[in-house]
């Protein structure tokens, strides 16, 4: 049966005579049902023991919906399909013994093996590395008490509050169902339609549209556990905890135009960057920090710690650094490790426990179900990358597809008394040292309701926007303008703008002006937003790291170039911690002034300036004349200037700079006086240049 206005075909059921019909509600509209035909009264909230209680296993609507969703792709991950990973170790530096009995959090100085996978959400495994997207940040700790999987993102909040909406979110952001595009992009009708109709997404949208959505490197992203967890100590006392990863190199990003051009120049940019850094010994490192709150402290907050669309500002509860993680070994086989690794939020150890966060509660079911679909067997934990390494695993679960172990003895059940007859009786439960769930009271009426404390959808979105520097606010507004410019349905744009008015009036005005549309009325808010003190910790530019450590410098050279200048720039950059690559018109390299040959690391046409954080152009007069005929050379300088990067140059390069539109400023450095003056501007972006090179909202 088709709706003549939208030409949308709904699923129908067949009667005994073969005729088709739809279930309709009291108003005659088609109503949602389960796959077995039971009408659904609430498709927005999972069944919980009270508004803030844990989700219930009996919720067949939640289970059917998520289970169907989990099995929609085989064998590629439905989300986070595009991933890169590395091995390393975690070292605890500060014990949390007063809060947790988990040995991974109490044994100071102990090094625990880890495997970390970074990923994008929306694109398939064959998509590119640099689209605007959320990045997954999943860590598998091989602890002495079993595997602990901390499965998070590079953003501390999420789009939705309840896991029952996750299939809808992903369906909306993925390629549109009728046309199969766009791939790995959120700039389309269905995603923003969902966003406009679900104001709880407002906070996450601020993060995704900010510079956090287009990171410079996987080595330069923060990581978050997203959900609220519990720590439980030896006395079975519990506190709430949020987990944070902070990169040693600082959080850094690209510009939007740069991210787009990197995708064309090197679709594997982030993957290559991570692999090469580890391969040459520049091991990425993160601090591991926690925010710990008692129940009373959580209750005193003006928002609910069980709401995954909220964060706890560091100014209210500072981070406590308790360890560090170093990635020091690349995978030996991409498929066997990066592709087959299975992360499960249910993989926790004694001393760590779940909260009643309804998003987390759904994840506890979904991830296990997904791995059964992807890896095809209940024995996926026996794959080397998934197998517990810090301790053996032992139980009575046997057989199943792809069983790789040979069990001895006839005891495959518990309890048993075979040991009394001298036979192998098998392992037994450990009431004292085994995992025990925190005894949180849960007796309440079964409901499908969202807690009132979850009703504020705008205050923290406002906090994030107002905590950004002026360049970051301009980037965020411009990103929304770009995305909404790809939306073809006027009512969808208007609804999003109506939500933005609740976030920040100035932001809504900037976006409307950037679209050249009238600003609609603000949408009605479930709960009136309130102002919070700005949080400088939420800005990237405001805490941009100094120095060149972990960054890349490209030196464009030609025949006849001054080798002494090349060496000076190279020495200064490498001395400050950067990696340096020589770019030449041809891969065979150049012959420097005096006849010395210089090998090239990249050919000009295939190694554009978007691959670097700063560039130097060291050329001869004749070489520059040749470059003036080459569009790639002009773009090399033009893009570096447009992407706010430092440009060092010799006097002979001036004609190329002129043709590329490069104007003198603090970031354009004449190398005739030496290379030392190049390092400082090369260590950051030239934000003052931005208004001269692009229009921002």
Q: Is residue 424 part of a domain?
A: no
- 589 class by beta-carbon count within 10 Å (0-12 exposed, 13-18 middle, 19+ buried): middle
CA proximity to 159, closest of 145, 170, 150: 170
| 148-184 pLDDT per residue, tens | 999 999 999 999 999 999 999 999 999 999 999 999 9
How far is Cα of residue 473 from the mean position of the Cα atoms in its chain?
Answer: 20
**662: CATH:** 3.40.50.880
CA distance 467 to 473: 9
Q: Is residue 3 part of a domain?
A: no
Question: Catalytic one among 153, 347, 386, 499?
Answer: 153
CA distance 98 to 126: 46
- The torsion angles phi and psi of 21, rounded to 5 degrees, stand at -155, 165
Q: Is residue 164 part of a domain?
A: yes
CA distance 255 to 216: 9
Domain boundary (327, 353, 382) is at 382
CA proximity to 458, closest of 425, 497, 503, 495: 503
- DSSP symbols for 198-235: -GGGHHHHHHHHSGGGSBS-GGG--EE--S-EEEE-TT
pLDDT band at residue 595 using 50, 70 and 90 as cut-offs: very high
pLDDT at residue number 22: 64
Q: Identify whether 80 is a catalytic site residue.
A: yes
Question: Catalytic one among 45, 80, 87, 379?
Answer: 80
pLDDT at residue number 637: 98
pLDDT band at residue 15 using 50, 70 and 90 as cut-offs: very low
Q: Is residue 524 part of a domain?
A: no
Residue 499 has pLDDT above 90, yes or no: yes
Token pair 């959400």 in the structure block, residue: 121
Domain span at 595: 550-693
What mean pLDDT do residues 303-322 have? 97
Residues contacting residue 240 through CB under 8 Å, at least 6 positions apart: 228, 229, 230, 292, 293, 294, 295, 298, 305, 355
Residue 286 and residue 324 in contact, taking contact as beta carbons nearer than 8 Å:
yes
Q: Is residue 459 part of a domain?
A: no
CA distance 134 to 80: 9
Decide: helix, strand or coil at residue 63: helix
| 639-687 pLDDT per residue, tens | 999 999 999 999 999 999 999 999 999 999 999 888 989 999 999 999 9
Radius of gyration of the chain measured on its C-alpha atoms: 28
pLDDT band at residue 74 using 50, 70 and 90 as cut-offs: low
Q: Is residue 369 part of a domain?
A: yes
CA distance 649 to 631: 18
**74: CATH:** 2.40.180.10
Residue 53 and residue 356 in contact, taking contact as beta carbons nearer than 8 Å:
yes
Domain boundary (362, 382, 402) is at 382
Residue 227 and residue 360 in contact, taking contact as beta carbons nearer than 8 Å:
yes
pTM of the model: 0.91
pLDDT band at residue 67 using 50, 70 and 90 as cut-offs: confident
Q: What is the total count of domains within the chain? A: 2
Total Cβ atoms within 10 A of residue 337: 20
pLDDT band at residue 18 using 50, 70 and 90 as cut-offs: very low
Residue 17 has pLDDT above 70, yes or no: no
Beta strands in 28-126 (DSSP E): 48-49, 82-92, 111-120
Residue 587 and residue 607 in contact, taking contact as beta carbons nearer than 8 Å:
no
Helix axes 358-375, 60-70, angle to 10 degrees: 40
CA distance 482 to 592: 45
What mean pLDDT do residues 248-266 have? 97
Residue 105 has which token pair? 């959090």
Residue 71 has pLDDT above 90, yes or no: no
CA distance 150 to 153: 10
CA distance 641 to 659: 12
CA distances in angstroms from 271 to 29, 86, 222, 277, 279, listed in the order given:
49, 10, 17, 10, 12
Domain boundary (382, 407, 423) is at 382
Q: Is residue 308 part of a domain?
A: no
| 373-427 pLDDT per residue, tens | 899 998 899 999 999 988 877 888 888 888 888 888 898 888 989 999 998 888 8
Q: Is residue 11 part of a domain?
A: no
pLDDT at residue number 21: 55
pLDDT at residue number 9: 39
Strands 646-649 and 668-670 turn out to be: parallel
């Amino acid at each position: 049966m088709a709706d003549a206005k939208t030409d949308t075909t709904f699923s129908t059921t067949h009667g005994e005579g073969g005729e088709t019909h739809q279930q309709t509600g009291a108003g005659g509209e088609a109503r949602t049902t389960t796959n077995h035909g039971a009408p659904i009264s609430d498709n927005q909230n999972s069944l919980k023991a009270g508004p803030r209680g844990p989700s219930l296993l009996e919720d067949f609507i939640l289970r059917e919906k998520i289970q169907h969703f989990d099995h929609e792709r085989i064998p590629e991950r439905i989300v986070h399909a595009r991933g890169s990973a590395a091995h390393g170790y975690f070292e605890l530096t500060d014990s949390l013994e007063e809060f947790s009995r988990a040995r991974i959090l109490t044994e100071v100085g102990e090094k625990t093996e880890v495997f970390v996978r970074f990923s994008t959400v929306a694109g398939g495994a064959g998509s590119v590395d640099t689209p605007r997207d959320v990045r997954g940040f999943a860590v598998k700790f091989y602890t002495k008490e079993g595997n602990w999987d901390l499965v998070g993102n590079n953003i501390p909040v999420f789009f939705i509050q309840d896991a029952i909406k996750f299939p809808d979110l992903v369906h909306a952001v993925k390629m549109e169902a009728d046309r199969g595009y766009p791939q790995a992009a959120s700039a389309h009708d269905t995603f923003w339609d969902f966003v406009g109709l679900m104001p709880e997404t407002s906070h996450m949208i601020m993060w995704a549209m900010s510079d956090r959505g287009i990171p410079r490197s996987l080595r330069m992203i923060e990581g978050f556990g997203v959900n609220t967890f519990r720590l439980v100590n030896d006395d079975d006392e519990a506190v709430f905890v949020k987990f944070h990863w902070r990169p040693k190199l600082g959080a850094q990003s690209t510009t939007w135009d740069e991210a787009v051009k990197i995708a064309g120049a090197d679709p594997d940019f982030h993957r290559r960057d991570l692999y090469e850094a580890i391969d040459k010994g520049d091991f990425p490192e993160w601090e591991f920090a926690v925010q710990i709150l008692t129940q009373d402290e959580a209750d005193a907050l003006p928002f609910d710690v069980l709401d995954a669309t909220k964060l706890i500002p560091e100014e209210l509860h500072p981070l406590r650094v308790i360890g560090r993680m170093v990635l020091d070994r690349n995978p030996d086989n991409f498929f066997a490790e990066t592709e087959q690794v299975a992360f499960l939020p249910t993989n926790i150890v004694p001393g760590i426990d779940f909260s009643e966060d309804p998003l987390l509660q759904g994840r506890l079911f979904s991830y296990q179900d997904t791995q059964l679909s992807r890896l095809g067997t209940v024995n996926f934990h026996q794959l080397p990358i998934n197998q517990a390494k810090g301790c053996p695993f032992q139980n009575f679960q046997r057989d199943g597809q792809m069983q790789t172990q040979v069990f001895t003895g006839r005891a495959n059940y518990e309890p048993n008394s075979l040991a009394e007859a001298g036979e192998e009786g098998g392992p037994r439960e450990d009431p004292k040292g085994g995992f025990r769930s925190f005894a949180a009271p849960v007796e309440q009426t079964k409901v499908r309701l969202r807690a009132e404390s979850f009703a504020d959808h705008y205050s923290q979105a406002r906090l994030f926007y107002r905590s950004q520097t002026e360049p970051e606010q301009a980037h965020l507004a411009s990103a929304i303008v770009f995305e909404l410019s790809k939306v073809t349905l006027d009512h969808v744009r208007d609804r999003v703008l109506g939500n933005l008015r609740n976030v920040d009036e100035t932001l809504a005005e900037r976006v409307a002006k950037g679209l050249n549309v009238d600003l609609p009325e603000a949408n009605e808010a479930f709960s009136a937003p309130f102002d919070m003190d700005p949080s400088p910790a939420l800005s990237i530019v405001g805490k941009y790291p100094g120095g060149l450590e972990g960054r890349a410098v490209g030196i464009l050279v030609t025949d006849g170039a001054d080798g002494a200048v090349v060496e000076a720039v190279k020495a200064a950059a490498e001395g400050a911690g950067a990696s340096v690559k020589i770019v030449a018109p041809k891969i065979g390299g150049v012959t420097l002034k005096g006849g010395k040959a210089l090998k090239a690391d990249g050919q000009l046409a295939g190694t554009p300036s978007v691959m670097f954080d700063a560039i130097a152009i060291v050329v001869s007069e004749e070489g520059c004349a040749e470059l003036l005929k080459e569009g790639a050379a002009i773009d090399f300088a033009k893009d570096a200037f447009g992407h706010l990067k430092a440009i060092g140059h010799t006097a002979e390069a001036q004609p190329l700079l002129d043709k590329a539109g490069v104007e003198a400023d603090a970031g354009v450095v004449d190398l005739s006086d030496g290379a030392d003056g190049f390092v400082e501007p090369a260590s950051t972006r030239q934000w003052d240049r931005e208004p001269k090179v692009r229009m921002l909202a």
